[in-house]
Amino acid sequence: MLVLASTSPYRRELLQRLRLPFECARPEVDETPLPGEEVAPLVRRLAAAKAGAVAAARPGDWVVGSDQAAELDGRILGKPGGREGAVAQLASMSGRVVRFHTGVCLHGPGGVFAAGDVTRVHFRTLARDEIERYVDAEQPFDCAGSFKCEGLGITLFEAIESHDPTGLVGLPLIALAGLLRKAGYALP
């Protein structure tokens, strides 16, 4: 059985694109960054920890773990949690390039495979009223970076640079498909 170590509806919708049967399981993982931990190692560590936590309870299954964080000026931008946090995050990213790091790990009986991706999002210069209209319309409070690129959030950007556009949503399917092939899955 393939198991997604996540309860994120965004990751679940992405994994459904591969048309493989899977289940979802909540990973019990502390997502606190380690002292001095940089963003890329953080998301890879958390992806592996999520996959490993669920795999420990499901021997014989292949488990997918993923994590994402935004980086601006060397600091991590997490989920905003509410309206004011989202408005502040988007204001801080206005006219800037923000790096979104995504880690993915496949853990199972045949080994552990991992990959990572970086997406660079070029934000337009955003007026406060634009930001507030967007936040009120889409309420992206559970999204790193305070936007949903698969929705109205696309209007906030000048450009997106990525090897894997699904990485920005939280589960890099190009990388994951490669990991699944290593594990013996036939795709498509």
* Residues labelled as active-site residues: 67
Across the chain, what does the average pLDDT equal?
A: 95
Q: Looking at residue 188, what is its pLDDT? A: 83
Between strands 2-4 and 22-24, the pairing is parallel
Handedness of CA 106, 107, 111, 116 (dihedral sign): positive
What are the domain boundaries of the chain? 2-182
pLDDT digits (tens, 9 = 90+) for 4-59: 999 999 999 999 999 999 999 999 999 999 999 999 999 999 999 999 999 999 99
Of the candidates 130, 163, 162, 164, the one whose C-alpha atom is nearest the C-alpha of residue 147 is: 130
Query: pLDDT tens for residues 158-184?
Result: 999 999 999 999 999 999 999 999 999
Between these two residues, 94 and 77, which has the higher pLDDT value? 94
CATH topology of domain 2-182: Maf protein (3.90.950)
Our measurement of the distance from residue 152's CA atom to the centroid of its chain's CA atoms, rounded to an integer in Å, reads 18
